[in-house]
């Protein structure tokens, strides 16, 4: 993934050119609306992208489950751009959804991993993520690669439109360049994560919470746990907790927080306190050196600090490792989870 990311940045002297997207730069820059369409993990990448696109391009973004979009009668207007996100490029719901949108006159751009796949072929243009084959059924590195590509698209549009200053654009490009090292550092936490996994592997339920850019990371953490360790997990925006899920909290409930330093941080800390006050177990992914967050948690996993737009690419790593070690410690074949298919083609 990162060789590819590096390649793209280096080859252009630090600026972003994306061949299959470049052709549609005008339509993207002047789009009235962008609609992300995807399923599962790819849908979560779309949700992070919504936050990033709206922040840097000021274009309204909607994120649709392809499995819903294809069966309803969605409003598509001239000037709408659809971004279809898929690892396999073969997910039937996503394929049918984009065919429907194409008939209504939308421009379809694909962010797809598998070269020459059906979704890639059905799109007008797009960018391959080139993450290499996903060995397991559950999507993992595809998520990081999708975010890298979607972030690059958003930065480029923001820069062209002038909604992103040159200074911030350059800063975010440098942050993208730093992602490989930061992911490597996050991976070095694996022994700690394995210990945490063994502590909570017998939980029957769990909650994953995050705010802002990290809310979709909480959703993705919960999805990974469900997919490969068969533990019931709910992902929620931390601010929504008080509107329902807080009723679940007791001394047996592990609550996983994505709590790295960002503009939502103080609020996330108070959400952690709310869980502690109800005797829930708090396990938090925190930025290196954040003693305040660490002090509130029963268990912490540290990751290097990154700009909040970039942090989800790094923060998802401990979420994936946690699900992996819980699944492995329970003796499950994490590469072939029961009832799941690599590409859902019906
Ligand atoms: C979407 C997806 C995956 C999930 C599983 C079933 O696939 O929901 O995220 O892990 O493999 O399919 P894709 O459209 O991204 O290939």
Q: How many CB atoms lie within 10 A of CB 58?
A: 13
- Same structural domain, 98 and 215: no
134 found inside a domain: yes
Residue 1 has pLDDT above 60, yes or no: no
DSSP-H helix ranges across 188-243: 190-200, 215-229
- Residue finishing a domain among 131, 164, 197: 164
* Residue 71 tokens, joined: 């069966």
287 found inside a domain: yes
Supply the pLDDT for residue 12: 52
Q: Is the CB of 342 under 6 A from ligand 1?
A: yes
- Distance in angstroms (rounded) separating the CA atoms of residues 150 and 18: 11
Q: What is the mean pLDDT of residues 201-207?
A: 96
Q: What is the ipTM of this complex?
A: 0.96
Give tens-digit pLDDT for 16-61. 445 678 788 889 999 999 999 999 999 999 999 999 999 999 999 9
233 found inside a domain: yes
Which 8-state DSSP code applies to residue 136?
Answer: S
- Same structural domain, 159 and 200: no
219 Cβ contact list (under 8 Å, min separation 6): 44, 47, 208, 235
- Distance in angstroms (rounded) separating the CA atoms of residues 8 and 155: 14
Supply the pLDDT for residue 166: 94
183 found inside a domain: no
List residues with catalytic annotation: 342
| Residue 312 CA: distances (Å) to CA of 48, 263, 276 | 8, 14, 25
Whose C-alpha lies nearest to ligand 1, atom 8? Answer: 40
Number of domains in the chain: 2
- Same structural domain, 37 and 130: yes
The CA 67 to ligand 1 mean position distance, Å, reads 12
- Same structural domain, 137 and 21: yes
Beta bridge partners of 254: 281
What are the φ and ψ backbone dihedral angles of 75, each rounded to 5 degrees?
Answer: -85, 120
304 found inside a domain: yes
- Same structural domain, 267 and 204: yes
32-46, 117-131, 210-224, 282-296: least confidently modelled range: 117-131
- Same structural domain, 230 and 113: no
- Same structural domain, 105 and 201: no
117 found inside a domain: yes
- What is the extent of the structural domain holding 152? 2-164
Q: What is the mean pLDDT of residues 71-97?
A: 94
Q: Is the CB of 87 under 6 A from ligand 1?
A: yes
- Distance in angstroms (rounded) separating the CA atoms of residues 147 and 310: 9
CB 175 within 8 A of CB 310: yes
Q: Is the CB of 337 under 6 A from ligand 1?
A: no
Beta bridge partners of 207: 234, 255
Q: For a pocket test of ligand 1, which of 36, 37, 40 has the largest count of ligand atoms closer than 8 A to its C-beta?
A: 40
- Same structural domain, 214 and 84: no
- Residue finishing a domain among 121, 149, 164: 164
CB 289 within 8 A of CB 304: no
- Distance in angstroms (rounded) separating the CA atoms of residues 132 and 107: 27
Supply the pLDDT for residue 135: 80
Task: Report the CATH number at residue 284.
Answer: 3.40.50.10490
Q: For a pocket test of ligand 1, which of 37, 38, 39, 129 has the largest count of ligand atoms closer than 8 A to its C-beta?
A: 39
Sorting pLDDT into bands at 50, 70 and 90, what band is 4?
A: low
Residue 14 has pLDDT above 60, yes or no: no
77-81, 109-113, 206-210, 261-265: least confidently modelled range: 77-81
Dihedral sign computed on CA atoms, order 32, 37, 41, 44:
positive
CB 131 within 8 A of CB 141: yes
- Distance in angstroms (rounded) separating the CA atoms of residues 206 and 255: 6
Q: Which of 248, 245, 238, 231 is nearest to 197 (CA)?
A: 231
Q: For a pocket test of ligand 1, which of 65, 91, 226 has the largest count of ligand atoms closer than 8 A to its C-beta?
A: 91
Go through 96-107 and write b for each residue having 16 or more CB atoms within 10 A of its CB, e for each that does not.
Answer: bbbebbbeeebb
- Same structural domain, 149 and 198: no
Start-to-end C-alpha separation, the chain: 29
Sorting pLDDT into bands at 50, 70 and 90, what band is 285?
A: very high
339 found inside a domain: no
171 found inside a domain: no
- Same structural domain, 94 and 140: yes
The CA 262 to ligand 1 mean position distance, Å, reads 29
- Distance in angstroms (rounded) separating the CA atoms of residues 70 and 92: 10
- Same structural domain, 206 and 112: no
Q: What is the average pLDDT value for the chain, to the nearest integer?
A: 91
- Same structural domain, 322 and 230: yes
Q: Is the CB of 113 under 6 A from ligand 1?
A: no
């Amino acid at each position: 993934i990162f060789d590819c990311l590096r390649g793209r940045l280096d080859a252009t002297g630090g600026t972003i050119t994306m061949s299959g997207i470049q052709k549609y730069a005008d339509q993207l820059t002047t789009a009235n609306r962008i609609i992300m369409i995807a399923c599962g993990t790819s849908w979560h990448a779309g949700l992070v992208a919504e936050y990033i696109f709206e922040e840097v391009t000021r274009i309204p973004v909607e994120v649709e489950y392809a499995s819903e979009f294809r069966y309803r009668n969605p409003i598509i207007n001239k000037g709408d751009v659809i971004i279809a996100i898929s690892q396999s490029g073969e997910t039937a719901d996503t394929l049918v959804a984009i065919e429907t949108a194409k008939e209504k006159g939308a421009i379809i751009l694909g962010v797809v991993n598998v070269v020459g796949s059906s979704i890639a072929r059905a799109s007008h243009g797009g960018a391959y993520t080139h993450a290499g084959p996903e060995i397991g059924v559950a999507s993992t590195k595809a998520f990081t690669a999708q975010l890298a590509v979607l972030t690059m698209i958003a930065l480029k549009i923001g820069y062209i439109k002038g909604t992103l200053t040159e200074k911030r654009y350059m800063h975010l490009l440098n942050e993208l360049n730093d992602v490989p090292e930061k992911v490597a550092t996050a991976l070095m936490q694996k022994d700690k994560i394995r210990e945490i996994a063994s502590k909570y592997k017998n939980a029957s339920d769990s909650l994953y919470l995050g705010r802002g850019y990290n809310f979709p990371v909480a959703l993705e953490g919960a999805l990974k746990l469900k997919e490969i360790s068969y533990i019931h997990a709910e992902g929620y925006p931390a601010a929504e907790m008080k509107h329902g899920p807080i009723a679940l909290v007791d001394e047996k409930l592990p609550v996983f927080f994505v709590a790295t330093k960002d503009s939502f941080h103080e609020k996330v800390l108070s959400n952690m306190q709310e869980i502690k006050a109800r005797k829930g177990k708090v396990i938090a992914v925190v930025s290196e050196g954040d003693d305040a967050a660490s002090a509130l948690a029963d268990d912490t996993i540290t990751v290097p600090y990154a700009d909040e737009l970039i942090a989800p690419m790094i923060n998802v790593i401990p979420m994936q490792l946690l699900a992996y070690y819980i699944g492995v410690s329970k003796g499950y074949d994490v590469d072939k989870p029961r009832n799941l298919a690599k590409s859902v083609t019906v």
